[in-house]
Chains A and B, each alone.
Chain A
Amino acid sequence: MIILVFLRPVLDPSGFTVNRRAQKIFVNRPSYIINPADKNALEAALQMAGEADTVIAVALGEAQAEDILRQARALGAHRALWVNDDRLKQADAAVVTTVCQRVVEQLGEVDLALLGGEVVDADFAQIGPRLAQALAWPMILDAHRVEAGDGVVRAIAPRGAAFHSAEADLPAVITIARDSNKPRYARGLDVVKAYRAEDAVEVWSAADLGLSEADLRPVTERRGESFPSERELGKRLEGSADETASQLAEVIRKS
């Protein structure tokens, strides 16, 4: 079985601050991490994969994509594919979907495409359903406990307030819920290996995937960021340390 996991790099949220007053984002430490829910998707793939199965991590974009693919190799992905093309800088959900679709078609024989159910810093959670539509594959949304074999995939997925068991024929697109598993940590030695090995990440260009200008032309234009109004400051407890301690003890009692 070939399991493809699509990973999206996101700016490490602990490395930046949003300043509402200045209407700006201050980046203190520009490092990229795997989008948290995509990490759950990778974990689901690694847990599912048996000896004969292959887990392939895919990411597109600039150097940050290569970086998270090395992280994915360190975590246990068997292969990593980096689709690197300058024109992907402006890629919107439709373009990203087309690229993923081509990757799946180029690889052939992919049984499952896994993605995280949410994306923290972009409007890219729509790529799972879009990909299912583009490939004409069935889809299970927000899945937990995914198991596959004998041509079918089975998972637990929310339906209203309850959980149901759902089944679909392979190949299928599955989006993985954020709470569905606890992603593993990479071992130090594996990280070193993944970063040293030159062939840890395979690079594909848009041309390798037969993507045309039209395929790469976004229909969504990014026009920057906007910011909510400043939060009202909370009540500041004033007075001597003893007085504020008493006031705070009262607040705690009431809460």
Chain B
Amino acid sequence: MDIADLSALMGEDIAAGNYADIWVVLTDPGAAPLLGEARRLADSLGCYVHVVISDASLSARAVALGADKIHLAEVPGLFVQTQYPEFALFPISKNAQAAKAAQKLKAGLITDARNLSVDESTRALLGSHPVYGGEYFLDFALTSPAKFATLDPRLLPEPYADPSRRGEVVPNDFIAPEPRFRDLGPVEYTPQSWRPLTKAKVIVSVGSGVKDAEGLSLARQLAEKLGAEIGGDRSGVDFGWVDEAHLVGVTGQEVAPDLYIAVGIRGDTYHNAAIVGAKTVVAIYPNPEAPIFAAADYGVVANPKEFLPKLIAKLP
């Protein structure tokens, strides 16, 4: 891209050279691991780490964890977009702020980014974004003059604190604009639970492997004995054994019961991605190669119609 293109893209007042350094938006102490990530990238690039905080008491810790320059601003995300960062890291809780700032600077943004690195020759920011709950990742390279990423601090290592590090507080006269929406205060509200399985403690889920009405009836008996809700994968819905509202899957509902029993479910991606929150997963399926066994804590290779009567008999 030549400079003429760039200024057309960016507006005339912004030149590529103005973008510099790594900026971190630190909205709460829990996001501190972002500093370790920023320090790592800054050390490889040889640039400064700027940190924007709204709470001055975080300054000393931010410096110990790797910040070179500290900026205080009421709404850190809005301040960053006035500063031409070459790289900007936000915690994922501030995805929307990051997206707005990125749009303002015509920047690329990777949300919930993993494996961040910088291509040192092109200065592109490389990273991956998980889809379907992390079943796979989309790999991106950001080539805009400013590059943004949001990170989940819980997935980053605790950064190394060096109390002898030095940093400076850089004053600014930034005044955050008033928010554009009005908060009318708290309300009593519970989202309607039209997804009936999201709160269930025990779920028995059925798929094509239960074969027929007899198999289904056995699965129902099991559910009744355990006081479980009945769910199903796409095949279970297609056979009419459960309705669409009870579909366990990315397009249906994601579940997190204490016990999830997959009966005759092959374990396709859309299904397995929706049960990662379950504490214990049990799978009963005839084919030992089925992907459900990779998602299960306990697997039984058996035909459900033959196995379920034996299991039901053993239960109190």
Contacts and interface: CB of A to CB of B under 8 A. Distances in A.
Interface string B290-311: 0101111111111000110011
Interface in B82-115: 95-100, 102-104, 106-111
Most buried by A among B103, B131, B307: B103
Nearest to A226: B137
Interface in A53-90: none
Contacts of B19: none
A123 B282 contact: no
Interface residues of A, number: 84
A144 B189 contact: yes
Most buried by A among B132, B136, B144, B279: B136
Interface stretch (A44-52, A125-133, A192-200, A201-209): A125-133
Contact size range, B: 35 or more
Interface of B: 5, 8-9, 95-100, 102-104, 106-111, 124, 126, 128-129, 131-132, 134-144, 180-189, 191-192, 194-195, 202, 226, 233-234, 244-245, 249-251, 258-259, 261, 268-271, 273, 279-283, 288, 291, 293-302, 306-307, 310-311, 313-316
Contacts of B111: 123, 125-126
Interface in A106-141: 120-123, 125-130, 132-134, 137-141
Interface of A: 12-14, 16-20, 25, 33, 36, 92-94, 97, 120-123, 125-130, 132-134, 137-141, 144-145, 154, 156, 159, 162-169, 172, 177, 179-182, 185, 214, 217, 219-228, 230-237, 241-242, 244-246, 248-249, 251-253, 255
A181 B204 CA distance: 25
Contact of B181 (A168, A182, A220, A225): A168
Contact of A133 (B9, B103, B139, B186): B103
Contact of B180 (A138, A156, A221, A249): A138
Contact of B269 (A17, A93, A220, A234): A17
Nearest to B100: A133
